[in-house]
Amino acid sequence: MPKMMSLEELQALREKVKASIDLREKGDQAEKMVIVRVAMATCGIAAGAREIMSYFLDEAQHRNLTNIMVTQSGCMGYCYAEPTVEVTKPGEEPIVYGYVTKERAQEIIEKYILGGELVEGIIPVSHQSLDE
């Protein structure tokens, strides 16, 4: 690392390294984030959940969507509809999407997360979480 010689260089470095702790800052303010939770149990992974998760991560970065936090969860129980993704907007009820492909993921980001309209593939939620 060569010495920084100006305030601009410090600023540029900050922009560059910001992403490295991005995940932690988001976790710290989870209540303000759109949380995309990908079910990553064995069945989910077998159905391609890992690819979906990294697709969400990539898209969020490309589109510079700083308010999206992508995380994983255990089996949500909708094994017939894997990969499943639960999207929670701040202050709203979580919505679970099933059979998520890259195309549908894109739709979820564009229409639901950014646009606010519901898209195909919603699974009716039939359970309540204990800790929420």
Binding site for other proteins (CB under 8 A): 1-7, 9-11, 13-14, 17-24, 26-28, 30-31, 39-42, 44-45, 53-54, 57, 61, 69-75, 130-131
Spatial CB neighbours of 24, under 8 Å, sequence gap ≥ 6: none
Of residues 42 and 106, the one with the C-beta less far from other proteins: 42
Of residues 16 and 117, the one with the C-beta less far from other proteins: 16
CB of 25 to other proteins, least distance (A): 8
CB of 126 to other proteins, least distance (A): 20
Of residues 5 and 116, the one with the C-beta less far from other proteins: 5
Spatial CB neighbours of 123, under 8 Å, sequence gap ≥ 6: 78, 81, 84, 96, 97, 98
Chain centre to alpha carbon of residue 8: 32
CB of 46 to other proteins, least distance (A): 11
Q: How far is residue 80's CA from residue 72's CA, in Å, rounded to a whole number?
A: 18
CB of 65 to other proteins, least distance (A): 13
Of residues 1 and 124, the one with the C-beta less far from other proteins: 1
Q: For 15, how many CA atoms within 13 A lie in the half-sphere containing its CB?
A: 6
Write down the residue that tokens 């639960």 correspond to. 86
Nearest to 68 by CA among 125, 131, 14, 25: 25
